C-alpha cells in the first residue's frame, strides 16, 4: 500500500482521540452488577464502589485511593429518586475526616417542563450557579435554555429550539448569549432515508449579514445487504471561495456474519485521494464478547501494530479486567500504556484514563436482607455474604450511627451516617460472622453479616 509516512506524535494524538469510538457493552447477567472497579493510573491505584437500589438504580458511588496500603476516601456521589425519576444528586469530597457536600443538582418535572439546578457549597452555604430548563411546546417543538447566576440574577446563557417530525429531530437552532447579547447562532439540519435511517447532518452558522452559511456536514451510508449496519460516515467542510462541499474525513466499518463490528478505519482526504490514519480491529469470542481491540497505524507503507486493549473474562463471559498495552512493531510489547479506556457496563458509559481496570460483580437484589421495624423504618444491607464491600441503604432518617461487632459483642468498626447510604469496606476482616448494628436515639437494629 502506498501510504504516506506520518509523524509519530500525530499517531499518538489520533490513538487517544479515536480510542473513544471503541465502546463495547459489558451487560449485567443473572442480576450481577459491577459493585467495584479498581483503576490503575500511573503509580496510583483508585477504587470506585457502586451501590444500587432494588430497582437497579445507582444510588451511591464512592471513590477512594490507596495510600500506605490502606484505602483513603476521596469523593462520593449520591442519587435520590421518586420512583424512576431522579430528584437530586449530591457530590461530596472527603475533608477533615468527614464527607462534605461540594455540589448538588436538583431535578424537577411537570407535564411539559424539566428543570435542573446546579449549585456549589462553601461550608453549609449553598449557591445556585446554573439552571437548565426544557419546555415542550406544541407541534413537536421543545426549547432548552441554560441560565447562569450573575449577582443573584439568572442570565440567559444559551437557548436551543429543536423541531421534530414523527419523533425524530428535523432541525435545531442554538443561540449563545453574553450578558443578554446574542454572540453566536448555529443551526443543525437532519435528513433521513425513507425508512427512517439517518442520512445527513448539516451545520450552519448565522453570519453578520443575517444569512445562514454552511460550515460542515456528515453523511451516513449503509451496507446494501444489511441495511441496518453503517458502512461509512463521511464528513465534508464548506469551501467558501468555490461555494462547494469538499471531502474532509471518513470512517469505514466492517462486520462479521453475526453483525458484530470487526474493523474501523479512519481516513482523511488529501486533496485528490483518501489516506488511512488509524485502524481498529476487534477480536470477539463465540458469544460476541470483546476479547481484544488492536490499534494499528500506517507507517512505512503498511499497517503496523501500535497498542491493544485486552479484555479478560470469566467463564460466564463477565469481563473481569481490561488493560491497555503496547503492541509495538518497533519496540517492547506487553508494556502497560495509560490511555482512555471506554466501555459500557451497568447500562452506563464509563470512560477512564487508565492502564488497568479490574471489575467485581455482586448480586444487587437477590442477596439483599430487608427488615421492617414497628416504626416502619426500612434497612437494606447487601451483598450478604460479602468478600469486601458491604452496602447499607438506610430509609430511616433517624438512624445516625452504624457499628460492626464480633459475635462476642466487641465493637471493631463504627461511624456515623453522612447520608442515607453507606459503603463499608470490610475486606481486611477475617472470614466469619459479624453483627451490623444501626442506632438512633430511639431504636437499635442488628443484622448478622457473613464475611467470606
Tens of pLDDT, residue by residue over 366-381, are: 334 333 333 334 567 7
11 pLDDT higher than 80: no
Give the closest residue to 307 by CA, choosing from 283, 336, 270, 282: 336
Domain ranges across the chain? 8-187+278-362, 369-451
SS3 label, residue 149? strand
SS3 label, residue 14? helix
Q: What is the DSSP string of 176-205?
A: EEETTEEEEEEEEEEEE-TTS-EEEEEEEE
Q: Do domains 8-187+278-362 and 369-451 have the same CATH topology?
A: no
CB-based contact 337:343 (threshold 8 Å):
no
CB-based contact 238:245 (threshold 8 Å):
yes
pLDDT tens digits, residue range 108-129? 998 899 999 999 999 889 999 9
Q: Is 50 exposed, middle or buried (0-12, 13-18, 19+ CB in 10 A)?
A: buried
pLDDT value at residue 397: 60
Q: 353 pLDDT band (50/70/90 cuts)?
A: confident
Task: Quote the strand ranges of 256-396, DSSP E.
Answer: 261-269, 274-284, 290-299, 302-313, 319-327, 333-336, 339-345, 348-354, 356-363, 369-372, 378-382, 389-394
358 pLDDT higher than 60: yes
Question: Per the structure block, which three cell numbers stand in for 8?
Answer: 509519530
27 pLDDT higher than 50: no
Torsion sign, CA atoms 165, 167, 168, 171? positive
pLDDT tens digits, residue range 194-210? 988 999 999 999 999 99
Question: Per the structure block, which three cell numbers stand in for 356?
Answer: 488497568
Backbone angles phi, psi at 9, to 5 degrees: -65, -35
**369-451 adopts what CATH topology?**
Immunoglobulin-like (2.60.40)
pLDDT tens digits, residue range 218-262? 999 999 989 999 999 999 999 999 999 999 999 999 999 999 999
In the block, residue with C-alpha cell 426544557: 134
pLDDT value at residue 368: 40
Query: Could you tell me what percent of the chain has a pLDDT over 90?
Result: 45
CB-based contact 441:398 (threshold 8 Å):
yes
Cβ contacts of 386 within 8 Å, gap of 6 or more: 362, 426, 449, 450, 451, 452
Please compute the mean of the pLDDT values over residues 352-373 and round it to a whole number.
64
Least confident stretch, 137-146, 187-196, 279-288, 436-445 = 436-445
pLDDT value at residue 217: 97
Per-residue b or e along 313-348, where b marks 16 or more CB atoms closer than 10 Å to that residue's CB: beeeebbeebbbbbbbeeeeeeeebebbbbbebbee
Alpha carbons 134 and 114: distance in angstroms, whole number: 5
Which pTM was predicted?
0.74
CB-based contact 150:171 (threshold 8 Å):
no
Query: Could you tell me what percent of the chain has a pLDDT over 70?
Result: 83
CB-based contact 148:130 (threshold 8 Å):
yes
Choose between 57 and 411: higher pLDDT: 411
Most confident listed range (18-27, 138-147, 215-224) = 215-224
Least confident stretch, 83-87, 228-232, 244-248, 325-329 = 325-329
**8-187+278-362 adopts what CATH topology?**
Lipocalin (2.40.128)
Least confident stretch, 170-184, 229-243, 282-296, 429-443 = 429-443
Alpha carbons 386 and 451: distance in angstroms, whole number: 5
pLDDT value at residue 6: 38
Q: Specify the length of the chain in residues.
A: 452
Most confident listed range (14-23, 242-251, 418-427) = 242-251
pLDDT value at residue 124: 85
Amino acid at each position: 500500500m502506498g501510504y504516506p509516512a506520518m509523524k509519530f506524535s500525530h499517531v499518538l494524538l489520533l490513538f487517544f482521540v479515536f480510542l473513544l469510538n471503541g465502546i463495547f457493552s459489558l451487560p449485567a447477567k443473572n442480576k450481577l452488577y459491577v459493585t467495584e472497579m479498581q483503576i490503575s493510573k500511573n503509580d496510583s491505584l483508585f477504587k470506585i464502589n457502586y451501590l444500587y437500589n432494588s430497582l437497579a438504580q445507582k444510588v451511591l458511588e464512592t471513590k477512594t485511593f490507596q495510600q500506605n496500603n490502606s484505602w483513603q476516601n476521596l469523593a462520593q456521589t449520591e442519587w435520590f429518586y421518586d420512583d424512576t425519576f431522579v430528584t437530586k444528586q449530591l457530590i461530596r469530597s472527603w475533608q477533615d475526616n468527614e464527607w462534605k457536600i461540594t455540589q448538588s443538582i436538583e431535578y424537577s418535572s411537570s407535564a411539559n417542563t424539566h428543570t435542573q439546578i446546579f449549585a456549589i457549597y462553601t461550608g453549609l452555604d449553598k449557591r445556585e450557579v446554573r439552571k437548565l430548563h426544557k419546555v415542550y411546546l406544541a407541534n413537536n417543538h421543545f426549547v432548552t435554555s441554560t441560565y447562569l447566576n450573575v449577582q443573584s440574577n439568572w442570565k440567559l446563557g444559551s437557548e436551543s429550539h429543536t423541531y421534530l417530525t414523527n419523533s425524530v429531530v428535523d432541525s435545531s437552532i442554538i443561540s449563545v448569549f453574553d450578558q443578554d447579547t446574542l454572540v453566536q447562532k448555529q443551526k443543525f439540519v437532519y435528513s433521513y432515508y425513507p425508512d427512517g435511517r439517518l442520512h445527513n447532518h448539516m451545520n450552519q452558522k448565522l453570519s453578520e449579514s443575517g444569512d445562514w452559511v454552511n460550515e460542515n456536514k456528515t453523511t451516513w451510508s449503509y451496507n446494501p445487504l444489511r441495511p441496518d449496519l453503517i458502512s461509512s460516515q463521511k464528513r465534508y467542510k464548506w469551501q467558501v471561495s468555490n461555494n462547494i462541499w469538499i471531502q474532509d474525513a471518513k470512517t469505514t466499518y466492517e462486520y462479521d456474519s453475526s453483525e458484530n463490528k470487526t474493523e474501523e478505519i479512519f481516513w482523511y482526504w488529501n486533496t485528490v485521494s483518501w489516506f488511512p490514519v488509524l485502524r481498529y480491529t476487534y477480536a470477539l469470542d463465540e458469544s460476541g464478547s470483546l476479547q481484544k481491540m488492536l490499534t494499528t497505524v500506517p507507517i512505512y507503507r503498511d499497517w503496523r501494530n501500535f497498542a491493544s486493549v485486552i479484555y479478560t473474562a470469566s467463564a460466564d463471559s463477565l469481563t473481569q479486567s481490561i488493560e491497555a498495552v503496547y503492541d509495538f512493531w518497533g519496540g517492547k510489547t506487553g508494556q502497560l500504556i495509560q490511555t482512555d479506556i471506554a466501555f459500557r457496563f451497568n447500562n452506563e458509559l464509563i470512560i477512564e484514563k487508565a492502564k488497568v481496570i479490574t471489575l467485581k460483580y455482586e448480586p444487587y437484589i437477590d442477596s439483599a436482607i430487608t427488615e421492617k421495624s414497628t416504626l416502619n423504618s426500612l434497612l437494606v444491607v447487601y451483598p450478604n455474604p460479602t468478600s469486601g464491600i458491604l452496602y447499607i441503604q438506610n430509609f430511616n432518617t433517624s438512624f445516625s450511627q452504624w457499628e460492626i461487632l464480633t459475635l462476642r459483642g466487641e465493637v471493631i468498626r463504627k461511624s456515623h451516617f453522612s447520608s442515607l447510604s453507606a459503603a463499608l469496606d470490610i475486606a481486611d476482616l477475617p472470614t466469619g460472622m459479624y453483627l451490623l448494628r444501626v442506632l438512633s436515639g430511639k431504636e437499635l437494629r442488628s443484622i448478622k453479616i457473613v464475611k467470606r
